[in-house]
Each structure stands twice: as C-alpha cells, then as structure tokens.
Amino acid sequence: MVQAWERLRRRHTSKGKTVTRKADKAHMNRVASIGCILCKHLDLGETPAQLHHIREGQGMSQRASNFLVVPLCPEHHQGNSGVHGLGERGFYTRYKLSELDLLAMTLEKLYENIR
C-alpha cells in the first residue's frame, strides 16, 4: 500500500531525484489555508498553519505522502504542547486525538461544502 502512495505522490526524474507534483502542491496549499485544525477544535480561533505529515503506519525511513497532511500552528506542530514536543502518546493523552483523528477533521473541513 505504501508503494502505491509513493507512485501517486512522486515522479522520478532522469537523475533519480524526485519532484513534488502539481497536484500535491495544490492539495497542500488548500490544507494550509484551513489554519490550525487543533486550534479550531479547541475553539482557540484562527491561526496560521504549518503542514504536519502524519506518520501512521510509516517506518522511520519512510516519508509520508503529501496527501496525508494536517494543518497545525507552530505550537501544536513542533512546540512543547505539540505533536513533536509531546510525542504520539503524550499528544493523545493531552488532547484525546490521534493523527488519524486530525486527518479526518482536516478532510471534513476541506470537503464540508461539497455535500
């Protein structure tokens, strides 16, 4: 399954390097425009976001797909109360949310006007 995501996510150049596709960039820009999904969930208002690639089901050397991203403010992303600062278990203990919960909330927000 991971290999399928890799094929969708990247295109190889002749020198073996990879480039991000236009579809990836468009999706990531749309996600970033939402603002921090956790701040919204906690009723903290609108805050600018960085993109966090979720690590669910990934090994340490594997890069997550650019379609599996959630928007988090700097504090909730890399700060002491964020996913990188607290770690996966600490983050879940504090907020009762997993990375997959954040991804689901992000997708709901992205597609709320399509229904």
pLDDT digits (tens, 9 = 90+) for 44-99: 999 999 999 987 766 656 677 888 999 999 999 999 999 999 998 999 999 999 99
Q: Domain coordinates of the chain in residue numbers?
A: 2-8+28-110
Q: Report, in angstroms and rounded to the nearest whole number, the Rg of the chain calculated over CA atoms.
A: 15
pTM exceeds 0.85 for this model: no
- Out of 14-23, 71-80, 83-92, 104-113, which region has the weakest mean confidence (pLDDT)? 14-23
Cα gap 81→75, rounded to integer Å: 6
